[in-house]
Each structure stands twice: as structure tokens, then as C-alpha cells.
Amino acid sequence: MKKIIFPVLSLFLLMAAMPSCKEGADIDMVQIHKVEDSLEKFVPLVRPCTVNVRTVEQEELVVTIGSPLLFQTSPQAKQEVAVRIASMALQVFGNDNRLKSGKLVISNDSRNQEVSPKDGIITDMKIDSIKKLMTKK
């Protein structure tokens, strides 16, 4: 009896320790690099710049751009750029992803290599709204 209980108990503990399955496809590094490479095409305001694209637990997209030109634009222009980047990224990642939110972080330093620069201006990318619009099509 002990020979049966130990393996069953071990299996139960192993299953409990595993992360829960989440709906949606994972975003891989190839897709992230494709978004980084596409930014110049979709956002001509960002030259010269450095770009850092990452996801937080596959649910939040964070795009950090170091661009004095973009840094100095109006909040409305920053929002338009954020939405354009989000739309492009969602097309690259496909409809079946787990993204729920996103933010564009803009730094005045074109050589910025930090994910969260001290001078960073954060703009919501409206990922949830854009995903809803894309799934209605």
C-alpha cells in the first residue's frame, strides 16, 4: 500500500506546484525582435533611438524608446504612436495571445538602454481596446 501512496502523493504535489495553464499563445523572442525591427517603419518619429520590447508574464507589453524627438511631442502625439505600436505588435503576435495591457515608455536619451528610465514618460498602449476591435473584424 505504501508503494502506491508515495508515487500518487508525489504526482499530486508535482501537479500542484506546476503553474496553471493560461489561455493564449506564448510570445516568443522571434516575434519580439520582429516588433523591434518594425518600429522604424511604423513610427518614423523615433530616429535616432534605442528600442527595448519585452513582455511581463506574457500579459503586459512594454516598449521603451529613447528618442528626444518623440519625448518632446504632445501627449496626444505620444498616444497616437503608442496605439500604432500596439496595433502593429498585436498583428505580429497574432490574435491568440495573452496580452491584456501595454505601455510605451519614452526617454529623452537616444542612447537609453534602461527598461524603466528615470526620465521616462509612460503612455498606455490601449492593448485591451485594440484587441477587442481586432477580434470583431
For the entire predicted model, the pTM comes to 0.72
CA distance 77 to 86: 14
Q: How many CB atoms lie within 10 A of CB 113?
A: 11
pLDDT per residue as tens, the chain (137 positions): 544 544 433 434 333 333 434 456 677 778 877 887 777 776 665 555 666 677 677 788 888 888 888 899 999 999 999 999 999 889 888 878 888 899 999 999 887 777 788 899 999 999 999 988 887 76
State whether residue 38 is helix, strand or coil. Answer: helix
Q: Determine the number of helices (DSSP H) and then strands (DSSP E) in the chain.
A: 5, 4
Cα–Cα distance for residue pair 107/94, rounded to 1 Å: 28
- Nine cell digits for residue 43: 513610427
Residue whose cell numbers read 508503494: 3
Q: 88 near 53, Cβ under 8 Å? A: no
Domain boundaries, the chain: 24-136
Nearest 10 degrees: Cα torsion 110, 115, 121, 125: 110
